[in-house]
Amino acid sequence: MLLEDEIQQKSFKSPQQKLAVNLLYTTNWLNNHYEKFFKNADLTVQQYNVLRILRGQLPNPCSLKCIKERMLDRMSDTSRILDKLVNKGYAIRNECPNDRRSVNILISDKGLDLLKELDFIDEATIDIFKNLPTSQIEILNNLLDDLRGK
């Protein structure tokens, strides 16, 4: 459906303004899809992102700084997200033996099991983008990289 129809706006001041609104609208549209996946798991998109980062680091621990640098939403409160994951038993936080101010973070077995249950999301994502052929997806990926200044 056209953006103009979705948000009931007939025109934009410029193509750039329409692009900005379209990107924001589409990001929220995509987030809504993902939130449905996590509803039954009592997980947020940001928590899922942190768990995937931790799984990718295995068997090495990850620092809070490393997680923050790799997060998709860099405005998130990483410490608070990590506290919730630790409280749920999905992550383990240990003081760094060399520096007491630093913390080593690992995904727990419970966190790995949860991610295994959620691995279907990778296939479901393919379905979300079913309206675009692979060639257009590759072009869109390149355009977005260009927008951010590769």
Which among 66, 51, 144, 50 is positioned nearest to 102, based on CA atoms? 66
- Whether the predicted model's global pTM rises above the 0.75 cut: yes
> Residue 105 belongs to what H/E stretch?
strand 103-107
- CB-based contact 121:37 (threshold 8 Å): yes
Res 118: pLDDT? 94
What is the residue whose two structure tokens read 């768990």? 51
Res 102: pLDDT? 77
Res 50: pLDDT? 95
Alpha carbons 57 and 107: distance in angstroms, whole number: 9
Res 103: pLDDT? 86
Torsion sign (Cα): 51, 56, 61, 62: negative
92: β partners:
106
Alpha carbons 37 and 44: distance in angstroms, whole number: 9
DSSP 16-41: HHHHHHHHHHHHHHHHHHHHHHHGGG
Task: Print pLDDT tens along the chain (150 aa).
Answer: 788 888 989 899 999 999 999 999 999 999 998 988 888 888 999 999 999 999 999 999 998 889 999 998 877 789 899 999 999 999 999 887 777 667 899 999 999 999 999 999 999 999 999 999 999 999 999 999 999 996
Q: Where does residue 127 rank: exposed (0-12), middle (13-18), buried (19+ CB within 10 A)?
A: exposed
Res 13: pLDDT? 94
